Amino acid sequence: MSPPYDEATAYHEAGHAVLALALGRQVHAVSVLPNQKFAGTCAFRKAPYRPSEDWVEREILIALGGVAAEARHTGLHAWDAAGRDWDYVYGLAVDRAGERRAERLALRYLSKAEHLLAKDENWRAVERIAQALLQNGTISGRAARHLFEEGTS
């Protein structure tokens, strides 16, 4: 019997959540319940203002965390399914580096996101969150943080 929720989507959304939590961004909820716009969602809480933080890099890494985690799990970068993530990343990369260098910068950040997720503790957290999503469909930000902390301790 196959799981009621899409496994690739669970890993994708778990990747967003783990990189957000690893980079200090609070998660509100994570879901693999599809709707008219999305196969799944990872919603964030408003971040506290930190003037010394590189907000653009953090946002790009979190956005790429989904496709990076999904690719690590499936072996494929599902760019068609992650089109909104790519559009967001590309727009931020254009703002940062200009049109000529945007794609190269975005791919460099993808490598960084993949490196962060390759750390054993972060990947354990992705797997824990993905499994919870496959069982429940949706988890709270509090549950995501708890699973993240279990996986990274």
Assign 3-class secondary structure to 31-61. ECCCCCCCCCEEEECCCCCCCCCCHHHHHHH
Q: What is the pLDDT of residues 45-64, one digit of tens each?
A: 876 656 557 999 999 999 99
Mean pLDDT, range 83-107, rounded to an integer: 96
pLDDT at 3: 59
Mean pLDDT, range 11-37, rounded to an integer: 94
Say what percent of the chain tops pLDDT 70. Answer: 94
Q: Does 34 or 123 have the greater pLDDT score?
A: 123
- Under CATH, which number does the domain 7-152 receive? 1.20.58.760
Mean pLDDT, range 74-86, rounded to an integer: 92
Rounded Cα gap, residues 85 and 82, in angstroms: 5
pTM: 0.92
Domain ranges of the chain: 7-152
pLDDT at 118: 97
DSSP for 81-146 reads TTHHHHHHHHHHHHHHH-TTTHHHHHHHHHHHHHHHHHSHHHHHHHHHHHHHHHHHSEEEHHHHHH
**With 60 as the cut, is the pLDDT of residue 76 above it?**
yes
Is the Cα dihedral 55, 24, 134, 131 positive or negative? Answer: positive
